[in-house]
Amino acid sequence: MSGTIWSVDEHLDDILAAVRPLEPIELQLPEAQGCVLVEDVMVAVSLPPFDNSSMDGYAVRVSDVEGASEEFPAVLTVVGDVAAGADGLADGRSVAPGEAARIMTGAPLPAGAEAVVPVEWTDGGTGGGPATAMRAHSDAPEGASGEVRVHRPVKARAHVRAKGSDVRTGDLALRAGTVLGPAQIGLLAAIGRPSVKVRPRPRVVVLSTGSELAQPGEELSGGQIYDSNSFALTAAARDAGAIAYRVPAVADDAESLRATIEDQLIRADILVTTGGVSVGAYDVVKEALSSVGERPAQETGDGDDGPAGGVDFRRLAMQPGKPQGFGTIGPDHTPLLALPGNPVSSYVSFELFVRPAIRTLMGLEDVHRPRVRAALDVQEPLSSPSGKRQFLRGRYDAEAGTVTPVGGPGSHLVAALAQADALIVLPEDMTSAAPGTPAEVILLR
């Protein structure tokens, strides 16, 4: 633990300077959801790939229906069906003068035809009045033959979607850096891409430490509390976009902690520990990983390849969350963030430091939660420690433009945390905040 006090921003900058976006991999579309594209994706096949009908109706030659009306319909010979998926009329037949082909939405315009007349502008081949629909092909295959009466003229290309009218071969479909949501996944599928090169979701291993920790559902013995950090932070890591693994609480023993961390390195793009980072005699995270600790690095190897070494433990000018550790460990220099053990401290630390690190690994440009300003909704002035940035839990009211603190400043108030949807930031130089003071608010949802 160096004597220097780090500011929140210095600690965050140090983390973000060390964390690099993950190496891209090729992923199938469903797996790529939520990931950042690292290639400019060009269109290999025009959309639509061929002129096709935008309606269910009849493909005709324009001159054949000129001047047609309900009273004086154009009577055309139906020479067949063009269903979606068919490559024009059967046997490569064309639509000749006086002829029409029954055509379905999305089906290619057959050779010879110049436009499509919607079925509602015809008698649907029934010989009766205007049709509202075609009869199902399976029930009435004869609909693909006989005569159709057309009640309206159409212009050339009417109800025809032109080849390439959406995108053309060689166009840029999606730029590198795009986050792949449902519409982007849909576009990639539409242009025939089964997979794309993206940065994968980071794998986050969350590991809580403390001999006092029992698992939920177990009976508590004297001095024990339930492990909540590993559950909360695993959920928060998933929320941030990561694949999160929760490791059941590790007791306060430096050797087993080192062994557990070495075991976990293989599936971790980033490691998060909670607890054991303060000034106590049993703060084993610090003991096991500190680069400036009393245990020499060579005890576990060359100091660069083992989990020892590389993690710097600091005091931050913030409340809660004063003691923090950050560094890289193992052969791949995996980033490790050692958070304090109090549930509120660890959660706030996660939001401030781990979430931006995860989103940096993902290659996202915007790694931070949105921030707004809101008036403090309090009855009495809030006091805040001088020289520390304080993060209070609050509820934000967007309409009123206010934020109301929930619970007290105590870092163990996990019940109040569950009611909060925002963090209220009181800066280092503020020692008192009067009712109505405009405060910076970090939105958590």
Minimum gap (Å) between residue 271 Cβ and a second copy: 18
Task: Decide: helix, strand or coil at residue 262.
Answer: helix
Contacting a second copy within 302-331 (CB under 8 A): none
> First-to-last CA distance in the chain?
34
Out of 85, 97, 128, 170, name the contact with a second copy by CB under 8 A.
85
Q: Is residue 143 at the binding interface for a second copy, with CB under 8 A as the rule?
A: yes
Which range touches a second copy (CB under 8 A), out of 17-25, 164-172, 264-272, 384-392?
164-172
* DSSP three-state, residue 413: coil
Q: Does 157 bind a second copy (CB under 8 A)?
A: no
Starting from the edge strand earliest in sequence, which strands make up the sheet with 243-250, in order? 5-6, 311-316, 323-329, 334-339, 270-274, 203-209, 243-250
Among 21, 39, 50, 317, binds a second copy (CB under 8 A): 50
Which of 99, 150, 184, 402: binder of a second copy (CB under 8 A)?
184
**300 contacts 280 by C-beta, under 8 angstroms:** no
Contact 198, 180 (CB under 8 A): yes
Per-residue DSSP letters for 294-355? SS-GGGGSSSSSSSSS-EEEEEESEES--EEEEEEETTTTEEEEEE-SSHHHHHHHIIIIIH
Closer Cβ to a second copy, 29 or 75, answer by number: 29
Residues in 389-428 at the binding interface with a second copy, rule: CB under 8 A = 410, 412-418, 420
Does 218 contact a second copy by CB under 8 A? yes
Rounded CA-CA distance 313/143 in Å is: 80
Residue given tokens 């000034």 in the structure block: 279
- 181 near a second copy, judged by CB under 8 A: yes
Q: Which two tokens stand for residue 115?
A: 């436009």
Q: How far is CA 97 from the centre of its chain?
A: 55
At closest approach, how far in Å is the CB of 240 from a second copy?
9
Which residues ranging from 228 to 247 are in contact with a second copy (CB under 8 A)?
228-236, 238-239, 246
Residue 29 is a binding residue for a second copy (CB under 8 A): yes
Query: Is the previous residue joined to 24 through a cis bond, with omega within 30 degrees of 0?
Result: no
Binding piece for a second copy, criterion CB under 8 A, among 17-25, 70-78, 130-138, 299-307: 130-138
41-49, 71-79, 150-158, 378-386 -> range binding a second copy (CB under 8 A): 41-49
Contact region with a second copy (CB under 8 A), list: 171-179, 303-311, 373-381, 422-430 = 171-179
Interface residue with a second copy among 64, 99, 114, 252 (CB under 8 A) is 252
Site of tokens 């319909």: 73
Task: Match 């050779």 to its residue by tokens.
Answer: 111
161 is an interface residue for a second copy by CB under 8 A: yes
Residues 281-300 that bind a second copy (CB under 8 A): 281-284, 287, 293-295
Q: Does 221 bind a second copy (CB under 8 A)?
A: yes
